[in-house]
Amino acid sequence: MALRWALVITSDRVKKDPSLDKITPVIEALLESNGHSLVYRAIVGNDPVEILWALASALREADVVLVTGGTGPNPSDISADIASRVCDRVLPGIGEEFRRRSLGKGVANAMLSRALGCGFAGRLVAVSPGNPDAAETMARLLLEVAEHAVEQLRGMKHGHKH
């Protein structure tokens, strides 16, 4: 099943200069090559209201929302906190697997990442670190489970409602 995806990039630097966005082209190409579409994209700063607004807008348009940036231990890294407050179902395996894959690539700081996956109102939400490699790692991981996750989050079984 083709899913509608949204991408919310959280970065003060990229918000000031959108030409620095190296994530959108990577994610868009990856989704298209897997039969999905990127239907919403936003670039916001490290501001809780901006992040919340973009996340809410993304949830209106998409089945899967990927938020990039804001997963580190720095007090300015707030995307993971905002998403975790919004979500109604935590899916801890997504963050765990993201960190496992990142550590497998030799990224020791992945241990400090608060990357996560969760559900909200039948949609899959994930937050990854804000570099293109991390965003691609998370998107590839999500592609493996997104269809099943969305079906389950919507209470569907084999494509039909209970």
User: What's the domain count of the chain?
Assistant: 1
Instruction: Give the mean pLDDT of 11-39.
Output: 97
Beta strand pairing call for 156-157 and 37-44: unpaired
* 54: in domain: yes
Do the bridges between strand 64-68 and strand 123-128 make them parallel or antiparallel, or are there none, so unpaired? parallel
Helix residue ranges, H only, the chain = 12-16, 23-33, 48-61, 79-86, 92-104, 132-153
Q: Does some domain include residue 40?
A: yes
In this predicted structure, the answer to whether residue 21 has a pLDDT above a threshold of 90 is yes
Q: Note whether residue 73 is domain-resident.
A: yes
Residue 30 lies in a domain: yes
132-147 pLDDT, tens digit per residue, is: 999 999 999 999 999 9
> If we measure between CA atoms, which residue out of 4, 145, 146, 131 comes closest to residue 68?
131
Give the model's confidence band at 157: pLDDT under 50 very low, under 70 low, under 90 confident, else very high: confident
User: Could you tell me the pLDDT band of residue 162, with boundaries at 50, 70 and 90?
Assistant: very low
How far is 118 from 7, CA to CA, in rounded Å?
15
What does the block give as tokens for 53?
């607004």
Question: Could you give the C-alpha distances from 41 to 6, 23, 117, in angstroms and in order?
Answer: 6, 11, 19
Residue 37 is assigned to a structural domain of this protein: yes
Region 18-25: mean pLDDT is 97
Percent of the chain residues past pLDDT 90, beyond the cut: 95
Domain assignment present for residue 84? The answer is: yes
- Which whole number is the average pLDDT over 151-160? 80
Q: Please tell me the distance from the alpha carbon of residue 28 to that of residue 36, in angstroms, as a whole number.
A: 9
SS3 75: coil
Contact present, 124 and 88 (Cβ < 8 Å): no
Give 77-123 pLDDT, tens digit per residue: 999 999 999 999 999 999 999 999 999 999 999 999 999 999 999 99
Q: Report the distance separating Cα 162 and Cα 156, nearest Å.
A: 6
Would you state the pLDDT for residue 161?
A: 46
DSSP class of residue 106? T
Domain presence at residue 160: no
CA angle 59, 41, 101 (to 5 degrees): 85
The verdict on pTM exceeding 0.85 is yes
The domain that holds 37 is classified in CATH as: 3.40.980.10
What is the extent of the structural domain holding 50? Answer: 4-155
- Residue 90: HSE in the Cβ half-sphere, 13 Å Cα cutoff: 10
In a domain? residue 161: no
